[in-house]
Amino acid sequence: MLSLANAFNKNDVEDFIDRVRKFLNIDNKEKIKFVCEPKIDGLSVNLNYKDGILKSASTRGDGKIGENVTKNIQTIVGIPSKLEEKNYPKQIEIRGEIFLNKKDFIQLNEGLNEKNKFSNPRNAAAGSLRQLDSNVTKQRPLKFLAHGIGESTKKYITMSEFYEDLNKWKIPSNNLIKICDSINSMINYFENLKEIRNTIQYDIDGIVYKVDSLKLQRRLGFIGKNPRWAIALKFSAEKAFTTIKKIDFQVGRTGAITPVARLSEVNIGGVVISNATLHNFDEIEKKDIREGDKVEIQRAGDVIPQVLKVVKKEKNRKKITKPPLNCPVCGSKTIKEKDEAVIRCTNTVSCDAQNLGGLIHFVSKKSLNIEGLGEKQINQFYKLGFIKNFEDIFYINRYKNIILDLEGWGELSFQNLIKSIEKSKSIALDKFIFSLGIRYVGETLSNLIAKEFLTIDAFINSSIDKERLFNIDGLGPKVINSIYDYMQNKRNQQIVLNLSKILNIANFKKPKSHKLFSNKNVVFTGTLSILSREEAKYLAVQLGAKISSSVTSKTDYVIVGKNPGSKAKKAKELGISILSEDDWIKKTSS
């Protein structure tokens, strides 16, 4: 279960459709049908039915591993424990959203004391579903609407066909779903829902557009964490006016120094906002933002609130905030790198802010996912000197007696932490690479790098080989230099080596192999006529091939289209196998 990419206007949706057409090599004359439905602001879940019986249910989690919520899901009215009729598949995963109606949310909060009140319906739904006591969940008026399909023994042709089956099985889906086949009809649907948004019983934060044909969905596949075949068009951000009380500096885990506006508290969409990002110092100067000014701020979804503009300048204005010459945390010199707007602290070894940021990132949900060791606990243990680097986390037991005497800690909470740390030791290679916090290397690129190296040993030994890095399709010069610099650092090398001994880092699961192309270096050149270049590369990677941008003695195959140019010529000179697009498609299909 993966997340959707976002669109914010008609142009973004048009770009999405163009990308779909380009990837599939479909011209503008051919219609593509899209399922359009409201994007509910709730908690995504996956229901697994076997022989018509609900066997398990889980949250989306990180897209691969979610939280088991089977017992609590069974208490929700509208989710059948057994599918009606007899035409259900042997096995099927039904995906959807758990949410609370606006009215039910208000009533729920009225019955809670001030400390336990929820800030919005989404948090209330998530908190209710994750209750340890299923009787508490049963008392909460949670709702469910299905919106997607996972694994299934029945091979559906379209999403529309799947929705018809949901109706037969008495599984609720959205009654506002519509099929559209043009940009105008898709945008009209969006505008119509925006008009009636306030009359809908539950919160929605946009519209989801997804390709109706499941065959086309399979061809389009995924890019990183996002499906190529779907996008969410978000409603405009909510805005409000407030005053900047102070401008502070925040130092991130990569040393980036970000100016942050401390605001007079203001409520936006049920959330109290007291801070907003100012992005960088160029932005402050461009918008002429100063302490004491009245400003317009906006908050869109989970995005950090930002200052849009000054609406009223303070009478006796203060001087504009300038970039600090020294890090506000460790006092080291700051630098502004070429072609970057960001100011950075140069101390990558002993800056407390960077070290803390790195530790918090390392234990976070998308990294090692150590429950019970969040930002608060990391700060506490760092100040006490218990955890100064990644490795220290796995030896926290040595401080047990001291920790048990700290406020908020007891035998049970400590043992739960130890269990969570032990559990975190089994980790996939891509998540491990992401957890290191290498600059510019997010989840998508971590996955790409893991797919190239496959094992932790190969990553350690080959990530200092720039030529190897340059041959990874999808990595740009900035990323390559960042990985190279990180792994060239002796301290980092030792950290990664030590962690590889402490953790059980699973090899990256190899893509579906093909006898001809598995682990082979493939180069595409010329204009392809049947597949788009993007789809051809994606297909090759799925078959286990490695995509290279240049022809060398290590290249195994060169696939040529029309007007191939110098790469085909070099391949001939080196005696490398050259395949036409037709030949390549035939061989990949065999």
As annotated, the active-site residues are: 39
In terms of phi and psi (left: phi > 0; alpha: psi -120 to 50; beta: otherwise), the region of 215 is alpha
CB atoms within 10 A of CB 480: 17
Q: Is 500 helix (H, G, I), strand (E, B) or coil?
A: helix
Which candidate, 81, 198, 72, places its Cα nearest to that of 138?
Answer: 72
Q: Side chain identity at 131, as an amino acid letter?
A: Q
Residues in the chain: 590
Whole-angstrom Cα distance, residue 453 to residue 450? 5
Which candidate, 359, 337, 363, 332, places its Cα nearest to that of 348?
Answer: 332
Do 231 and 37 form a contact (C-beta atoms < 8 A)?
Answer: no
Report the alpha-carbon angle 490-495-497, nearest 5.
Answer: 90
* Residue 335 parent element (H or E): strand 334-336
CB atoms within 10 A of CB 85: 10
Q: Side chain identity at 188, as an amino acid letter?
A: N
Would strands 43-50 and 256-268 be described as parallel, antiparallel, or unpaired? unpaired
Question: Hunting for tokens 């969040």 — which residue is that?
Answer: 374
Whole-angstrom Cα distance, residue 584 to residue 560? 9
Structure tokens at 65: 């591993």
Give strand pairing partners of 277: 260, 306
Query: How far, rounded to the nearest angstrom, does the alpha carbon of residue 533 sit from its chain's CA centroid?
Result: 25
Which candidate, 393, 251, 232, places its Cα nearest to that of 302?
Answer: 232
Whole-angstrom Cα distance, residue 269 to residue 102? 12
